[in-house]
Structure 1
Amino acid sequence: MARPLREVLVNPKVVRGLQEHPGTYRFEGGASMVVSAVHWPPHVVVTEDASGRLSIEGPLANLLDTLAASLNFTYHIVKPADGSWGAKFKNGTWSGMVGQVLQQEVDIALGPFGITESRSKVVDFTRSFYFDDRSILARKGAPEVDPWGFMHPFTEMVWCALLLTLFLAWLSLVVLGRDHKGYGHITWASNLLFQQLRVLIQQDAPVKLFRGRERFLVGGWVVVAMMLVWSYQSTLVALLAVRYIPQPIRSIRDVVNNPSLTVIMEPNTIVTDTISTIKFGDLKELNDLKYIGRVDYQPASNFPQALDNLVRRHTHVIISTSLSSDLFIADLYAKTGKCDFYKARQTFFTSTHCIIGQKGSPIVPVISYRIRPLVESGLYVYWLFRNIHFLASCKASPSKITVREALSLSNLLGILVLLGAGTFLATLVFCLELCITGHCSAKRCFSGRLSASRGFSGHCSA
């Protein structure tokens, strides 16, 4: 039976062999290691049989088996009592897997772990075998009609270019043209602007108002306006059948500003430890949510159930690594065939993925040396993504869908609002014109009567 690693490392010859030949050395008589692990798919899946014996599967299990075959050791899996990575207490002790390594209860802990200053003071880290960031996992909304969909056939850039072209065409006519039929400069310029607008909305434009080079400019504007309007009409018909799937949570700020949302996170991780020390910014406000009861700390093993129950109700979001979020979404897609969840656009807190060992242990540099070819060859990434089925099924799920149904009031609501607002403004301007015209007519009539009473000839017409 192989001796424990602690006893094997007492032999100076073994330590010297590990240090001088990290890529080829093997324990001659074998060794037995105690390895700590917690359930963290897709990197490592921890299962327990009826007798309470733990076993692991997944990419980290493959990595550990490769190291065991290379170094000639066997291993025994244990897990921390609190099921966490490890957090530092005020008295200087540590919980979780970090605490097990620090107290020499285990030889290594699989994690994977992100490197922090506080952890590096009590444990040694191997070479990183993967990098990942954190993302926010939320529930998609139900498909809904966008009442302002009539604005979507053109992008903002096209709308701006259209208005700029309209202005340039009008300005060119003002500069190159001359007053006609006794109009003043302001009246003539306003008439030209209205003529350009009439072309854009497909109304008639009297060509007799223009001459020579003016007609050339007007003709160019007609061609541009007609091409854009025809393109707009054809695209709009298709867009009226589009339903938009809301994805309101796009960043940490959206989570903080929504008082109805509770954040689900795993406790005692690099994320929770780091954001608790930040003094300002979105991450500080995210950490402050725990003081008002808006943070629910749960182990990672509960995340799939929380996603299907709590997050599905639009009352919670989950903060996890991006790869784990993809796994949760893919697993639910395999069960339901639906892409009901999405990752927010903002990602944050990119960190390393390492194994940890006891401080000063010669086994950690040897593991790092042998991890490197596995990473550089892409073998670990191959193991990782081979275990995630339907990974790409929901990654490219659309934020809008097309339906076949009759147009309803909701489809045309934006157009009707715009039409109503325009009609109201036109009526208001018309009433103002009547009032101003009536006032001026009455004033002229009063002046005429006053002149007649003084012996001057004058009249007042209706």
Structure 2
Amino acid sequence: MGNLLEIFAERMNFEYELVRPLDSLWGIKLENGSWNGMMGQVYRNEVEFALGPFAVTPQRANAIDFSVAVHSDNQAIIMTRPTLQNDIAGFLKPFSKEVWILIIMSLLSVSLAMVLLEALEGWIFSITTRKAVPKILMWMLQTLTQENPRWLPKWDGSRLIVITWLLASFVFTSSYSGILTAMLTVPRVTIPIDSLADLVAQSHLPWRLESGAMMLTYLQESEDEVRRKAFTGMSATIPDCWSARQGIASGKFAAICDETTMRKSISWDFSTSGQCHLYIARERVYSNLMMCLAFKINSTYLEKANSIIEMLRDTGVLSKWLENEITNTSQCLRPPAYDRGHGIQPLGLDLILGPLLIVLAGLSLALHVFAGEHLIHLLLPEKPSS
């Protein structure tokens, strides 16, 4: 905007003085009908025009005059960049909760069916299987974990259930091992917030809106429940997204900002740190906003300013100025999954910590059972046979 102001001053032959609003805001209409921020300065004729650029809304257009569009912009969520997180329960992720519940239910239901059928066949053929329930449960678990069970039912009815369960357990274990191998080979970066609905549905990351910006009024007056919740659920306001870039990059909060400022913040972040700490959500909260300069009503400079803006826009000068301000963003605009790098990487202990904890828990349980059995044997010695 500084370059554009210089051309205005040269072509329209005027000198200028930059006046910053006391509240450092863009400007929204207050309940008493007045305006704050830069919009208020223009509305009260304290300045000839404000560079902004400002998003044009019907409410603003009724208060002041706007120039032709300098460029179009979008509003989206900007937050700290998601990274690859090691999950202690990652070995459970190949299947969803519903699938795990169905596997457990099928295990119990097939076990119950075998117990009942084994008892019925024993009654029919007058042959009773000793400790049938423990044997059946152990057999079910052994087949599900691909062990070689030693016990098999004696009659065809139970063996038909055995064949069915063997086929089902083969599908379970083969699918699980294949999906888990793929997940360990190419781990995915989980993006918890990629839309406005995701933002308002979570509670671990607070969000803020620009004070005095059009998005504040837009979300407040929206009849959509999600957008209304984005306003009512915000933790605080920020003067502008550029000044809040460090807080966003450090993960203190997310913000809803214009895409130009977001890209400029990403450029600053990569240029100063050499890394990507910021992420722009894929869903746009508001698209194709016309960004214009704000002029007081009946300004004598508006018509000439429009012709200059159109000339610079049509010749690509405005786009070139914008590109010069926003550099080093291509790496950080890629999906977070690309941050992992290339080549084969060894698996760390944290990736198999969950299964190891299960093994340790099983060993601990077995040790306690062994100690209990030994204690019972000492306290209740077997009676000598007569």
The answer to whether the superposition gives a TM-score over 0.5 is yes
Identity among equivalent pairs (%): 19
Matches within 5 A, 1:419-430: 419-424=359-364
Local SS of the residue matching 2:6: strand
Q: Which residue of 2 aligns with 1:342?
A: 279
In the alignment of these two chains, the number of paired residues is: 359
Q: Which residue of 2 aligns with 1:30?
A: none
| Equivalent of 1:99 in 40, 49, 52 | 40
Structure 2, unaligned stretches of length 5 or more? Answer: none
Per-residue deviation at 1:208?
3.7
Local SS of the residue matching 2:336: coil
Separation in 2, partners of 1:302, 1:432: 65
Task: For 1:204, give the aligned amino acid.
Answer: N
Task: For 2:261, give the aligned amino acid.
Answer: S
Q: Which residue of 2 aligns with 1:224?
A: 171
Separation in 1, partners of 2:216, 2:148: 67
Tell me which structure has the larger Cα radius of gyration: 1
CA contact (8 A) 2:81 2:276 kept: no
1:415 matched to 2:355? The reply is yes
CA contact (8 A) 2:76 2:280 kept: no
1:394 matched to 2:332? The reply is yes
Instruction: Identify if the C-alpha distance between structure 1 residues 420 and 101 changes in structure 2 by more than 3 Å, giving closer, same or farther.
Output: same
Q: Which residue of 1 aligns with 2:231?
A: 283
Instruction: Identify if the C-alpha distance between structure 1 residues 235 and 131 changes in structure 2 by more than 3 Å, giving closer, same or farther.
Output: closer
| Equivalent of 1:134 in 54, 62, 76 | 76
Instruction: Identify if the C-alpha distance between structure 1 residues 77 and 320 changes in structure 2 by more than 3 Å, giving closer, same or farther.
Output: farther
Per-residue deviation at 1:312?
4.9
Separation in 2, partners of 1:351, 1:103: 29
1:192 matched to 2:136? The reply is yes
Separation in 2, partners of 1:342, 1:314: 11
Separation in 1, partners of 2:378, 2:261: 74
Per-residue deviation at 1:422?
3.8
Task: For 1:98, give the aligned amino acid.
Answer: M
CA contact (8 A) 1:198 1:204 kept: yes
More displaced 10-residue stretch of structure 1: 322-331 or 105-114:
105-114
Instruction: Identify if the C-alpha distance between structure 1 residues 425 and 200 changes in structure 2 by more than 3 Å, giving closer, same or farther.
Output: same
Q: Deviations over 1:134-168 (max 9, x none)?
A: 31333667x66433332344455654565466467
Task: For 2:356, give the aligned amino acid.
Answer: L
Local SS of the residue matching 1:342: strand
Separation in 1, partners of 2:369, 2:321: 68
1:327 matched to 2:264? The reply is yes
Q: TM-score under structure 2 normalisation?
A: 0.63
Matches within 5 A, 1:82-161: 82=21, 84-88=25-29, 92-104=33-45, 109=50, 111-116=52-57, 118-124=59-65, 130-138=72-80, 145-156=86-97, 159=100
Q: Which residue of 2 aligns with 1:60?
A: none
1:205 matched to 2:149? The reply is yes
Instruction: Identify if the C-alpha distance between structure 1 residues 234 and 208 changes in structure 2 by more than 3 Å, giving closer, same or farther.
Output: same
Per-residue deviation at 1:209?
1.8
Instruction: Identify if the C-alpha distance between structure 1 residues 201 and 152 changes in structure 2 by more than 3 Å, giving closer, same or farther.
Output: same
Structure 1, unaligned stretches of length 5 or more? Answer: 1-43, 49-53, 57-63, 65-71, 446-458
Instruction: Identify if the C-alpha distance between structure 1 residues 252 and 336 changes in structure 2 by more than 3 Å, giving closer, same or farther.
Output: same
Separation in 2, partners of 1:93, 1:233: 61
CA contact (8 A) 1:144 1:243 kept: no
Per-residue deviation at 1:324?
2.4
Task: For 2:267, give the aligned amino acid.
Answer: A
Instruction: Identify if the C-alpha distance between structure 1 residues 360 and 281 changes in structure 2 by more than 3 Å, giving closer, same or farther.
Output: same
Instruction: Identify if the C-alpha distance between structure 1 residues 154 and 215 changes in structure 2 by more than 3 Å, giving closer, same or farther.
Output: closer
Task: For 2:231, give the aligned amino acid.
Answer: L
Local SS of the residue matching 1:209: coil
Q: Deviations over 1:49-98 (max 9, x none)?
A: xxxxx437xxxxxxx9xxxxxxx988987654226422446765434442
Q: Which residue of 2 aligns with 1:269?
A: 213
Separation in 2, partners of 1:273, 1:367: 28
Q: Deviations over 1:296-346 (max 9, x none)?
A: 53x55545xx53xx5555446554224421332134334544212224677
Instruction: Identify if the C-alpha distance between structure 1 residues 435 and 75 changes in structure 2 by more than 3 Å, giving closer, same or farther.
Output: farther
Separation in 1, partners of 2:62, 2:111: 72
Instruction: Identify if the C-alpha distance between structure 1 residues 345 and 115 changes in structure 2 by more than 3 Å, giving closer, same or farther.
Output: same
Separation in 2, partners of 1:301, 1:343: 14
Per-residue deviation at 1:188?
4.7
Separation in 2, partners of 1:341, 1:252: 19
Per-residue deviation at 1:351?
7.7
Per-residue deviation at 1:182?
1.4
Local SS of the residue matching 1:197: helix
Instruction: Identify if the C-alpha distance between structure 1 residues 406 and 224 changes in structure 2 by more than 3 Å, giving closer, same or farther.
Output: closer
Q: TM-score under structure 1 normalisation?
A: 0.55
1:81 matched to 2:20? The reply is yes
